[in-house]
Structures are given as C-alpha cells and as structure tokens.
Structure 1
Amino acid sequence: MLSSAVPVRADEPPAASAPASASVSTSTAVHADADADADPLADQWTTLKAMKWTQGKDLTAFVQDLALRSGKRALVATSGGSYKKFVCSSEAPCPWLLNAVCSRPRKRPASAATSAARFWYVTSGLLTHSVNCDSVARPTARQLKASSVLRAAVHADARVSSASLVAQLQTAEALHCSKSMVYKAKSDLLDALEAARVAGRASPAVRTALQQLPAYLTQLQALNPHVAAVYETETEGAEMNYPRPEPPSAASPTDGTSCLLRTLLALDPTTVWNDQSVFGLDAMEMQHVGYNGTLLALVGRDGALQPRLHAAALVPEASAAHCTWFLTKLLAHGFPLRRFPLVSSGRGALLAACTALQVPNVSLCTRYVLEAMRETATLALQPTDEALVWQAQRAEAESEHLSVLAQLARQNPAATEYLRALDPSLWCLYPVLARRKMYGWQTTRFEELDLGETSLGLAPLASQLPYEAVKQLSLLAMHAAFQRHERASQWESERRVVTPAAEQLMQQQLALVPLYSVCMSSTHLAFVWNAHKPQIRQRRVDLQQRTCTCACRLQYGIPCRHILAALQKLDALGRAVDFFDECYLVRNYVASFKNRALDLPVEESLARDLTLRPPRLVTKQQRATEGHAKKTKKRKARNRPSNERKRGLYKCHKCQRAEGHNKGTCPYQQE
C-alpha cells in the first residue's frame, strides 16, 4: 500500500504556496522508491504526482475517470478556489483519498514572460480501497456518453430503449446507471449526431464508405444490363427546389462537393409479365442515427406465391416530388405501372404521385387503413373490429359489404363512420371484382418481404446508412435470383406443370367438391351449387371458355371448386391444369428465372468519389410540411376530486380563493 505521510488534516486544505516536491516528506519518497517494485500502485502514484491541470474541471474529470477504471466512483467532498478533496463513494469506511491544490502566481512577477500560470496538482492521498468498500462503477453523464457500448448501441438503433441500454452497460462494462441518466446521454448523442449531419459533417469512416456508392452502382449496372442503378446529388436535383435544412451558405459548399440526395435500384422489368399482375407500393422510414430518409419500394409476387422486391429507392422523404421521381424512373425502366393494378400504402404522397402520373387502378392498402384508424383520437379498435374491417374489404358483393359494416356499427360506431367516409372503390374488392384480377392482394405485401434478417442474418435494413442499404438490397436480389433459379431447375426436372403453391391452392378447392351438385346444360356448360345449403345459389361454369361466375376463379386464376366439380362430373379432372393462369405455369417460371443471375461488384476495386458528401438529415419541421402530419397529444383535464389530488389547489394568500390569481393580482379588496 502506498500512502502519503504529509502532516495535513483531512478537514483543512494544505498550504497552497508550498511546492509539490515539498508537500511530500523525505521518508515517504524513500519509502515509495523502495516499494516501487513491490507495489503496483507506485508507478501510478508517481505519474499522478507529476501531472498538472490548468482547470479544476479537468482535474475532476481525470479523477472520476481514474476511479471508474478501477470499478469505483469518486466524489468531490470539498471544492474551493484553490483546494479540492476527492473521496470514495462507498457507504462503508474507505481510505481512498486525493487532495489537490491550485498553485498561486507570484505577487510581483519580474515580467509577464516569467509569470507562471496557475495550475492544479495532487499533493497527497491514498489510492487503495478497503476490503469492505462497497462503491460501484456509477458513471457521470460525461463518462456515459463516452462509453463505446452506449455509442455502438445508439448508432445501430436510434430507437433502442433506455432499459435495454442499462442492461447492455451492466453486462458489457459493469456500469451501474439509472434509466433517466441513460436517456439523457442517449438524447445528447442523438442531438450531437443530428447537428453534425445537418451541418454536412460525418465521421471519416461513413464518408469514405459513402464515396464508394457511385462506383458501386456504375459497376452493378455494367455487370447487369437489365438493372437500373441511379443516384443523384443535391446539385443534380436542384431543379426540384428541394428545401435545405440549413442556411444557403452552409448548404452550398464552395469546395465543389455535394450531398447525396437520392438513389434507386430497379431490377429486370421483363420478368413481371409471368408473375401475378399486381404491384405493391410502400414506404418505410429509415431509423439510423445518421440517416433518417425514406425507403420507397415496389413489390410483386411470382407464381410460387413468393413476394418479390422489384425496385427500391432511398429519398429524403416521401414527398410528392420524390415519389413522382421514383415512379417516373420505374416507368422509364419498363415497369407496366399503368397496366397492372397497384396497391399503395398511402404513406406520404404516394397516392398523389400516382394521380399526377395518371396511374390508374390504384387501391388503398387495408393495413394502412387500419393504421390510420388507430391513429385517430376518437377511435379505439379491438381485435374483433379489425377482423370485420378485413372482412368488409374482401366482400364480394355490396350487400355483403354493407352487412359487415352494420355488424361493425353495433360494436364500434366510430369505426363504421370512418369507413363509410372512404370511397369503396379505393379500398374494397366488390367495386372492381369483375374488372381487376387482384389475386387476393389486400396489402402491399411489403411486410411479407424477407429483407435479410431471417435468411441471411443481416442487420435490419431500416438501421443502415445509404451505402450499406444499397449493398444489402443488392445482396438480397442476388440471393433471391439464385433461389428462384434453383426452384425452376428442380421443377423442370420433376416435369411439373404448375408450381407447388398453385397446386396446393387447387387441392384446397378440390377438398370442397363433395359438397356441390352439378347439372349439365351442354357438353361444356354446367351449373353448380352447394347442396348442403337450404338456398340454391348457382354458379355458371363454361368449360370451353374456362370461366366461372364465382370470385375465386375471377380473382385468383385457379380452377375453383365449381370447375373441379364439373370436371369430376365429366370424369375429366386431368384437364384441371388448363384452368390455371399463365403465372402459375412452371414453363413460364423457368423462362423468367432459370439461368438468371445477379453479379455484384468487388468492393476492393471501387474508386472513391471525393466530391460526394453524406445525405443531410430531414428536420421534423420539414417532414411536417411534406405530408407528415404532426401529432399532438391531447392533455386530459384535471378534474379529479380534491381528496385524490397529489397537490392541493393554489389559493391566493390575500383572499384565500382558488381562482387562478395570486396576492399581487388579486382583484378583491382586502376587507
């Protein structure tokens, strides 16, 4: 144990005028030199005695860090103009102690050049803790913000909870801290990162990685001619009058650089003709602390009933200008947006962009309708209410739709009024039942996509920076292309006619055939009805035209139960494969996906574009002006009885009335 033999009481400061070398006795110095090899704290004490600090706060920070490295916490017991005393935070007696003083300059310096500046230095102390010391590593807010564990967790997910951060700090660094302190440190980190990103500053690693994006997209398009890879900077997108989050002087650098504005990755559009002829259009906000833009996605579905990501774009927000730019690029690349039905989520200005580009056959996603209903202050949806909303959407007739709404009105009148205010042709099936083949689409199917978290073990796409997000999307497209090639080769070798998923749908319909009766009108015309229901509802089946009046045949393009019953009546179930839509046929699946691969660039060969700067953050005010409604939380009126209040009502000390005034503004005259 190394201690100081300075004859100074713990409750009074030492003489500040004594030099540092004189504050330690000769016997202590000899003792320290003799035990330097035996005591591991000797070198630490020697280094500590030789250090100087120009400001008291720097000394305090150093001592706090010194204690934290030992798994303890140091407290400032005494703080004066020229003396500081640091002790251990242990509740049990602990001898750990540091005394520090501030030097005083000479009263009459010979000259300004020879006058010494004031500095803090340690005079005495003890660096060992007692056996019963119960102090723990409880960091300050400054130390907490410097924690690598906290920074890594916040950078990876800006929405990580304070409770999760407390658990991570306790496990990784054995730090004990409250949720309120962690929340404050997290908020300070996010504010600092936002200020840096708004000003166009970024860490060297982030900027270096982003500067490889232009070369990556260029090589990706060169390796895959059917892929469209586009990026634009603020200089190139200046014609859209994009609002800047900072003054023009900061937004327009004079060094020739420009911030990334938006980027797009679109795959081969020729394969969509052998898929289900429906598109889904959705938007997702990115959650990285250094990038809070929006991902726009175009989704499809192949004949194996697997969702496909056709295209994706990273834009600052889902405004009308950016959504229109995204759809314009897709139309120019060859996606038949004006021919296929399109299910849009309605987030941002997606619907407005479809209207501006004259994209017909647009439907509203049912999941988005439910989200909008939940965000309405006057609505409180229950699971049974949501089930009725889904049922009302897929109703095949107006009478069935109204019947479901009437049932919903009995248990939730506010939800019914909300749905009746919507145009049925915008979100319901029955108005377009005979005009659009939706293949059972009720949502954009964006939620069904595997964005790499399950199949490849990748980080969530929403928590990535633009360059990493583009690489992850490219990797997912390559993985999906190889999987479809493998399935196409296997089904071709097995001599399948339709995909297994389509065959499973037919088997579900075939299991219901025994419930139906068939009456033939001619060799190719039949009328089919359910014999187990009291009322006969006939379906007309034309085997020559391959039609049936039921919604299953009209919407899904598979042999329905009525067609299968008629074929069974004629002992011709082998002809059932002729009633599948083209998207379900294996030969079309093979033509679209066999030997179709996606090649990716090698990152080591990518050149950096030094003129490219990271994208700017979108401020909250800017999002509110671009179609994101600002949510205001209504404050409940305080109408609790006086006996249940935590605090009593304030009364005027002059008139003793609780009418919201004080004695200085009392309107009553003193009696």
Structure 2
Amino acid sequence: MHLVGRDGNLENVTIAFALVESEDIACYTWFVQKVTDAGINLSGLPMFCDRDQALYSVANDLQLNLKFCTQHILRNVNSKFSEFKLATHGSLIWKLQAVYTKAEYDSTLGIIEINAGRNVRDYLAAIDPERWCVHKHVGVQRLYGWRTSNFVESVFGTQLVLGLRALPPLAFFKAMCTRIMQRAYQRHCNAIQWQNEQRQITKGAMKLYEKERRQAGFYRVIKSSDDITHVCRTDTTVEVSRRCTESEKHCTCGFIDQYGIPCRHAVATLIHRGRMHDVNNLFDPCYHVDTYANAFKNAQIVVPLEDELVPDHETIPAPKGNKKGRPPTKRIRSNGEERISSDYKCSKCNQRGHNKRTCRS
C-alpha cells in the first residue's frame, strides 16, 4: 500500500508505504490508523483511489475525503460496455470530470448519451459527482488539478524501472527508505538554492503558470469596476467572456479557484492595469518558496543501518488471515486494466504461438 502526496513544487512525496497480505477492510484500516498515529492529519484532504469497495467502506467509517480516480472509471466503462469505444469516447469522460459548472456537467452527460449510449450515460450519472467531478468543488475545495491516482502509479513505475519491486521484502523496504531519504535531501537543497536566488514561487508552480501567461496576450480586457474586469479571447469567432474579481482572487474560468495559480484571464487583467508586479500575490501560499522551505529545509531522514535496527514492539503488523488453497503469486490487475500476456513459445521447434503439446512439426 502506498500513500503519495505532492509538494509545492508539484513533485510526488511518498508519505507512507506498507506490505500487506491483501487489500481488504482490515488491512486498509490498519494502514490508515498507522498513518494517523504517526501524526499525519488526513482530515478533509482529498484522497484519490480506484473504486475499491473495501477502501470505500473504510473511508466512510474513518470519515476520509475519498475521491475516485478518473482513469479507473474510464477503464471500468471500457470493460463493461461494448458500445463504448475508448479512442472515440474516452475524451468525453475526461471532459465530464473537468467541467466547472453543473450546466456543463449535464450537457456533457447528454453528449455522452448521444455518442456512447444510454447505458454508459446512466453508469456515469450514478457515480456521485462529489467523489470525482470538479464542478462540485469549485468554491468549496481545491483539487489542484488532481483527478487520478497517478501519483501512486508513478511511484510504482519508478519502482519497476529501478528494479525495486523484484527485491525481497526487507531489501525492498531498505531501498524505498533510501530513496525517500535522497528525495528529502534534494528538497532541502532546492529550498536553500531558491532562497539564495530570492525566488518567491517554486519552479514547478512557475512552469504551470508560464503556460497560462503565454496565452494572456490573446485576450481583451474590459473594466467593470476598479476590482472587476471582463476578459474575452480576441482570435475566435465565438466570444466567451470570463469575469475576474481581483480582491477575491477569483475568475469564472475556475482555473485559479482549483489550482491556486493565476489564470490567463487574471494575468491579462494585471497586464491591462500595469500591475504585473502583483502577480505573485495570486499564488496559493503552498507554492511560495518560504512555505516550501518551512516544510523541507533542514528536514533530515536518516535510514538506520542493519546493525542499528531494534525490534519495534509498538507497531503491530498488518492483519493476516489464513486462507485456503495455494497463495496467489501473480499481481491482481485493477478493474478494467488491460491484460498483458506474452505468446507461447514451443520448446520443440522454437516457434511462437503454440507449445510443445500442440506442435505439428
């Protein structure tokens, strides 16, 4: 099990990991309790995962703010409905998740019904939008663009590349802890370097901001008051206006509300007012270098050597049940995940596509 978050530089941070016998209610409960016992407050934080019933049950019991991974929903739809074509209809599900208003949500559901069928539409509509759709969080809670459990998948991918997942349990734990130690030191170095450079915003946040800033020149700004402006794009035939309220750090496009990073409309407004020097005030404090430094500067992780390890009688191992039959050895795929298999290779003729028993040579 992995619990992965992100820092103000938009990089993954492994918060906790554990080896457990199975993904069931007992093990999920044990994992969450150990995380909270370590002093990590999960209250209110959005936690993205697949729609695992055991985890969903634990989240309800422990009042976790569980969100569903859009990628897993997409895989589930693709596996359940033959009329759904991933290449053709997949983008509609991503759009359904990302829209900022209830009207856009209902409209997108209608488009899905027309293109993919009533069954697909009803399946998606039955999923509580508060568990996965942005429009339910606008003005309520920032999701920072998160909509999948790809943080964890990214960590899994790194483990595969580095060969960590092929290691025995103790060696795996040592390798993971060593990597966490290295990453903690790198964040410490980042904090010192950026403070020496007198940066105010982290590099990761600035990279995302630059994408918005480069679009600001395509917009026309109309003042409504000293505080409110209407902003519309100049190079399109259909004019769509957005309203920016500077005092509230708000734009109706939803980007600044959800990411905490100035959107193109807010930037266009500041350019129009000749006040680009105030742009850093529109960033969420989590992206400030001082916030980053408070979290990671001089924060040190020291992995104990083998001869320094002592028994821990306080941390109780994950629950283990005695199940009948031979224990499984193959990885269990997520619901909807495509099966990856290799062709048979005949040991008699060395040709692929059959085995020795069915060989005709």
Please give the range of the TM-score, normalised by the shorter of the 2 chains. Answer: 0.7 to 0.9
Q: Which of residues 220, 227, 232 is equivalent to 1:524?
A: 227
Q: Which runs of 4+ in 1 moved over 4 A?
A: 377-380, 450-454, 533-536, 605-609, 615-623, 628-631
Q: Which of residues 275, 278, 301 is equivalent to 1:575?
A: 278
Structure 1 residues 564 and 400, CA gap change in structure 2 (3 angstroms): same
| Counterpart-to-counterpart distance in 2, 1:564 and 1:369 | 35
| Counterpart-to-counterpart distance in 1, 2:19 and 2:2 | 9
Are the equivalent residues in 1 in contact too, given 2:76–2:335 (CA < 8 A)? Answer: no
| Counterpart-to-counterpart distance in 2, 1:371 and 1:495 | 45
TM-aligned CA deviation for residue 545 of structure 1 = 3.2
1:610-621 to 2 correspondences below 5 Å:
none
| Counterpart-to-counterpart distance in 2, 1:342 and 1:487 | 26
| Counterpart-to-counterpart distance in 2, 1:620 and 1:423 | 38
Partner of 1:51: none
TM-aligned CA deviation for residue 596 of structure 1 = 1.6
Where 1:449 maps in the other structure, the secondary structure is helix
Are the equivalent residues in 1 in contact too, given 2:221–2:230 (CA < 8 A)? Answer: yes
Q: Which of residues 299, 303, 306 is equivalent to 2:11?
A: 306
Partner of 2:97: 393
- CA deviation profile, 1:145-179 (whole Å, cap 9, x unmatched): xxxxxxxxxxxxxxxxxxxxxxxxxxxxxxxxxxx
Highest CA radius of gyration, 1 or 2? 1
Partner of 1:459: 163
Q: Which of residues 354, 357, 382 is equivalent to 2:86?
A: 382
- CA deviation profile, 1:558-593 (whole Å, cap 9, x unmatched): 111111111111111111011111111111111211
Are the equivalent residues in 1 in contact too, given 2:191–2:297 (CA < 8 A)? Answer: yes
1:597 aligns with 2:300: yes
Which structure shows the bigger proportion of residues in helix conformation?
2
TM-aligned CA deviation for residue 551 of structure 1 = 0.7
Q: Which of residues 228, 249, 252 is equivalent to 1:546?
A: 249
Partner of 1:297: 2
Structure 1 gaps of 5+ residues are 1-295, 632-671
- CA deviation profile, 1:365-400 (whole Å, cap 9, x unmatched): 111212323443756542222222112111122332
Q: Which of residues 434, 438, 441 is equivalent to 2:143?
A: 438
| Counterpart-to-counterpart distance in 2, 1:500 and 1:491 | 9
- The letter for the 2-side match of 1:299 is V
TM-aligned CA deviation for residue 467 of structure 1 = 1.9
| Counterpart-to-counterpart distance in 2, 1:562 and 1:620 | 61
The CA RMSD over aligned residues, in Å, is: 3.2
- The letter for the 2-side match of 1:590 is A
Are the equivalent residues in 1 in contact too, given 2:249–2:256 (CA < 8 A)? Answer: no
Are the equivalent residues in 2 in contact too, given 1:451–1:476 (CA < 8 A)? Answer: no
TM-aligned CA deviation for residue 460 of structure 1 = 3.7
Structure 1 residues 619 and 597, CA gap change in structure 2 (3 angstroms): farther
| Counterpart-to-counterpart distance in 2, 1:514 and 1:368 | 37
Where 1:596 maps in the other structure, the secondary structure is coil
| Counterpart-to-counterpart distance in 2, 1:616 and 1:464 | 24
Structure 1 residues 543 and 424, CA gap change in structure 2 (3 angstroms): closer
Partner of 1:335: 40
| Counterpart-to-counterpart distance in 2, 1:630 and 1:515 | 43
Q: Which of residues 119, 133, 153 is equivalent to 1:447?
A: 153
Partner of 1:256: none
1:415 aligns with 2:120: yes
TM-score, length of structure 1 as denominator length: 0.45
Where 2:247 maps in the other structure, the secondary structure is coil
TM-aligned CA deviation for residue 408 of structure 1 = 3.0
Where 2:143 maps in the other structure, the secondary structure is coil
Count of residues in Structure 1 that have an aligned counterpart in Structure 2: 326
- The letter for the 1-side match of 2:52 is R
TM-aligned CA deviation for residue 521 of structure 1 = 3.0
Where 2:18 maps in the other structure, the secondary structure is strand
Structure 1 residues 320 and 608, CA gap change in structure 2 (3 angstroms): closer
Are the equivalent residues in 1 in contact too, given 2:100–2:253 (CA < 8 A)? Answer: no
- The letter for the 1-side match of 2:87 is P
Structure 1 residues 535 and 482, CA gap change in structure 2 (3 angstroms): same
- The letter for the 2-side match of 1:430 is H
Structure 1 residues 368 and 619, CA gap change in structure 2 (3 angstroms): farther
Identity %: 29
| Counterpart-to-counterpart distance in 1, 2:244 and 2:310 | 63
Partner of 1:473: 176
Partner of 2:213: 510
